[in-house]
Amino acid sequence: MASQNSIHRTGLYPGTFDPITFGHLDIINRAVKLVDELIIGVAINIGKGPLFSLEERVAMVQYEMDIISKDKGILITVKPFDSLLVDFAEEQKADLIIRGLRAVSDFEYEYQMVAMNDVLNDRLETVFLMADLQYQAIASRLVKEIARMGGDISAFVPENVATKLLAKVSAGPT
Ligand code: ADP
């Protein structure tokens, strides 16, 4: 177990990332200022019926993390997980869980999650970050809808993701 006073701070940013957007990337660029090492936990999240497979989501996140890691000189690893978040965080020896807050609508769910996670593991702290105003409204779900309707998604997701998303929606329902 990581010591509470450890100098080396590991952050864990969990999510579905179906797919990763400029909103997520903005949060990651802020998170790297707070930690020495960042783990991006890609949740299997079958319940949410993701458009992309776990492998595809991990690969898209990894592609962007290679760019940020190089640019910022910080260790960022991408790992899939299918366990309880607190268990995964413990296994990864994470000190902080990073979450992004969009609108008030995120608050209720996040508030409950923190309260319940605190009962399960009181060593972990959750840190909430807000994205830059221009990225705050971006949600993976809406980006997928826009792509399905043939709209321009270049303002919401990086180029590699846009290419993969367009290929996916033009291939029709899976
Ligand atoms: P979930 O599947 O838990 O909704 P996502 O994979 O969509 O999560 O996102 C992971 C985290 O990133 C969540 O904390 C979510 O609130 C945050 N997030 C997603 N998009 C944005 C955004 N545009 N601005 C700020 N935070 C965001």
Closest residue CA from atom 21 of ligand 1: 23
Could you tell me the distance, in angstroms and rounded to a whole number, from the CA of residue 27 to the centre of ligand 1? 9
DSSP string, 64-117: HHHHHHHHHT-EEEEEEE-S-HHHHHHHTT-SEEEEEE-SHHHHHHHHHHHHHH
Q: Is the CB of 135 within 6 Å of ligand 1?
A: yes
Residues involved in catalysis: 24, 48, 102, 140
Q: Which residues are paired to 97 by β-bridges?
A: 12, 126
Q: Is the CB of 17 within 6 Å of ligand 1?
A: yes
Under 8 Å between Cβ of 55 and 170? no
Q: What is the distance of C-alpha 40 from the center of its chain?
A: 6
Closest residue CA from atom 12 of ligand 1: 100
Taking only the tens place, the pLDDT of each residue in 25-82 is 999 999 999 999 999 999 998 787 899 999 999 999 999 999 999 999 999 999 999 9
Taking only the tens place, the pLDDT of each residue in 127-158 is 999 999 999 999 999 999 999 999 999 999 99
pTM over 0.85: yes
What b/e sequence results for 93-106 when a residue is b if at least 16 CB atoms lie within 10 Å of its CB, and e otherwise?
A: ebbbbbbbebeeee
- Select from 27, 42, 97 the residue to mutate for testing ligand 1; criterion: most ligand atoms less than 8 Å from CB: 27
